[in-house]
Structure 1
Amino acid sequence: MRNKKRDKIRDRSIKSIITLAIATISIAFILIISIVLYSESVSALTENSYVMTKEVVYQVNTNLDYYLSGIISMASYVKNMVRETEEYPSGDIIERILPIIESRSDIETIALLDADGQLVFSSARGAVKASGTIREQLWFTRAVGTEGNYYFTGPHVQNLFTGQYPWVISYSQEITYVGTNGERSPGILLIDMNFSAVRDITDRATLGRSGYVYLVDNEGGIVFHPRQQLINAGLLAEDTESVQDHVFGSFINSFAGRKRLTVVDTVSYSRWRIVGIAFMDEITDQLTSLSLVMSILVVICVFVAVFIARLVSTSITRPIKKLERLMKQVEGGNMMVDTDVRGNLEVRALSRSFGHMISRIRKLMDDIVRVQEMKRKSEMDAMQAKINPHFLYNTLDSVVWLAEQGDTQSVIRMISALARLFRISISKGHDIITLGEELEHVGNYLFIQQMRYVNKFEFTIDLPDDLKNKPTIKLIVQPIVENCIYHGIKYLQEMGRIDIRVFRRPPGALVIEIKDNGVGMIPEVFDRIMEPRTTHSSSSNGIGVRNVSDRIKLYHGNDYGLEIQSEADIGTIVQLVIPEGKDIPPIKVAKK
């Protein structure tokens, strides 16, 4: 398994590896930062929600303190008046109180009652109920016998005047007043407040979309709730039990299927507690929006990271790719490429090393070409050295024999042909001669051999005039003809024949075809004569056919060379394929 993974890694390009590495590191870094930021944002948002709820509760508490302190101040003002006035109901106190009531919409009634529940004075108009009923009310019972203390009674229906049943919060306090008889007597000061002021204070408190603030007394009863009517109708419940366990502070719990943050604080003058409710799902909605924004930012950052990784990997691998393309050109045979590749330090060093390697290869190739050229020249010299003594010996031996027979004309023709043969083979040291000169050389060779082997074979040479000056490598036809004589015609009982012709082969090639009617070749003989540096007996005077093929390929490439067809008892056809070049002038040595 590990080996497969390693193979997969090896099969990837440097560009993909660098891109993957940079992208992976960047994405991991982005994700880590995003997770940390999200966690911190969640903590900060939750903390901010708590702080905001706490601040709102504190502000409402402050406003309530201010409002209740105003009620207490109003009560002190009334208390001071009744202590100084001896005549009730002279109307002076009522006249002084009425402007206060008229200026404040939250004050329902200001009244003074004696210890028996009898009304001393009141800002309200109406028949007072029986004192027995009044003495049973909570605001009255709390204040009796506790002079100096004041009480705020939770919301209730005021049952003081006949036909009037306002829903109020009552302030009550036992005070001492001077009666009509001049004696000081205890009495109960009552201030009834409606909910308009408290409602205004709490309505201004906003805790999210649906959060709210409400008031409870020290026994857990609701003093004020923005949804008081629904609670009274039994359509809504409030979690007052959990609030009872907290004089102040905060906690998170679930109630009525919603998780909520509850902040509790105590109202200074009233023993009430103010409760702020913020719903956690609204905070979560903010987190959802934050998550969406962060997700979009993460996606954008990931795309940017991948783009930057791709850009960086491209900038790193572009010079490497260029170097790779240069290497492929060199592999294709182009050794003259410009290896100056710009890039980072390592790529430049690699480029310089590659350039040095190419220079060294070019030098080695030049050396190889020179060595091959020297080898070829050495082979040519060795071939000529072989032709000269061997062929010269056999030809001169034939000349001596003809001279002894007194055939002077044959002697002259043979010696003249021999002279022309060597004149062309020398060719002023040139390796390239015209087809006319090459086939003239072959003609002289065949003429001499025909003189030696009387009535053994005949030959023809067909060279079109427009091809006589086409260039060819020197001495490539004579070795083939020599093999025709020594391996084909020599063993015939009937007259042998050698036909040489030259023709064009599209596109751009010339074919020198040598055809004989000799005994042909079996595969073993064919393989032997195609072996490098094939040698023959001293009487064959032959030059290797493989040598001719190698010389043609060396000069003109692997698309050219020898094509041989041979069949036993039928004959052999050898085709020398060379490129058709431009005409050149003959370079043979002129006769003297």
Structure 2
Amino acid sequence: MFKKLRELAPKSIRHKLIIASIACILVPAALTLIIYNSLTQEAVQKQAISNAEDSLKLVNGSVTNRLKGMLTIANYVQVNPGLKAYLKLVASNNEVGDKYQRFMDANRVLEQLDSLTFVGEASYVTVLLTNDSYFMNYSVSDYKPLDIKKKAWFEKLTELRGLESYWIGVEPTDYSYDKFDHPYQVTLARTLRLDSGGIYGYVVVTIMEDQLNHIFGNLSAGQKVVLLDEAGTIVSGGDTGSIGKPFPYAAATGGVKESSIVSIAGDKYLVAQQQIPFNGWRLVLMQPYKESIVDISSIFNRVFVIQLISFFIFLLLLITLVRAFTKPLVRLGKVTTAVQRGNLMVRSGIRGNDEIGRLGFLFDQMLDRVMEMIAEVSDTQARKRKAELKMLQAQINPHFLFNVLNSIRMKVMKRGDPESAKMIGSLSMLLRMTISREEDEIYLHEEMDLVSHYVALMNLRQKEEAELQLDIVPEAFLIKVPRFFLQPLVENALIHGLSQQPGLISIRAVMQEKYVLLTVEDNGRGMDALQLERIYRKMDSSEGSLPDKEEGNSSFSGMGLHNVVERMRILFGDAFDIKMHSELGKGTTIEMHIPHREELRDV
């Protein structure tokens, strides 16, 4: 049995990946669809309740602000010191001044009452005193203020204390000017009391009910909001005929604290409630549950169908892609086997933007780099051997040469020719510092001594001397450089740049963060762009390490600029850089970037 199972099991990586991919997608997808169906209803309900609460919160803020405006007017009349003092005088029949003064005082009160009305929203403000004096911001022809005493609720005002307010709720409009367009009004009343507690007047603030009803008109389709007082009577909202009547669904919504789904007459409704904090009134939002979830439910259903279709499409696509992805892996495996056998010329040819494509590209690039490194190492060793051979060719037996030169110098001195003796002494010192040293590298200050002696020797040959100017920072003296690398540059400056004429050769060295900047500059005749390009091309070519025949025969060392560059690159690698700047009649500047090495950091 186990043998049959092993035979039926997929053997290729392609089949294994397809089966594993189907299993890893099918099982989670099936579980996701099952869980999705169970959670969709809950998510839809939560979202619908959240939308209803957000809508009611906006309505609550607007209604609360409008009702607070009524409180603000009452507070102003009750606590404003000037207005309060004047009203007390009027209530006590102790007004002072002539009739004109009393008229002006009363007019100022009326102006203050007019200023309390909200811009664009009419508020009727009445101040009724116990002596039947009154002040209001409307005309007596609209409504007689003394009729307030005939209201059924007027006697209840005596029960108020301090800043307590009595919210009358909704009533038929009393003001004749607004009765036709605004059939209902909402009124707030408050008592004006003396310090002893006695009542000297009343302040009544009235607004039209449709100012609140207008706020409810900005809701989503199907949402209806009503404002109920403490007794459950509709203050605003709903149909005009229902205002002032008990809320018909009070029994069904009475047990709802904030938001819930309730059943009314066999239909489900989304109900949300919020309290008005300062008068005990409440806002109730009702919406048929089907209408509240119609948009959200349709979105969830469409998403479900899209997910189901996408699952089957991408399953087929996955199988196709797995087959395509495994094909380059087979090719890469064959190439790896060939490389293991020693064939470095084979290449996979796999390219692409995915991991396998990058792996094939990097694998081929690695093989190319290995071939380049092998060729580079071979070329470097060959160039190094050529440079060493050139140095060996430049050397002669130092002891014999020094002894002969010293003997010649002594004889010249005895014959009274100090200038020739000095010339021979400089030559001897120059040769001693160069060919008698066995190490390949020397300190920069030793190289500077060598260059100084060389310039002194060349000045003895010329009728007019060239000036050598050195500007080297002390730290740069301790770097190690190839022996005899500056002399060819100075020699070129003397012979080709200054043409053995008087002039200035300047050598500067400054320390940079990662390298030493060494500059050799002359003020000679310079070069044009064509000559400069030819020199650059020769330095970059493979023949640059070989000395020119003319240069080898005429120069002191037989090593020119090309050989210097080659030696520096062998020693410092690609980090070394050289640049040349030259103009006809303005001289030539050579800049060398010599990298820091460990021996300089340890000093």
Coarse TM-score class (shorter-chain normalised)? 0.3 to 0.5
**Higher CA-based Rg:** 1
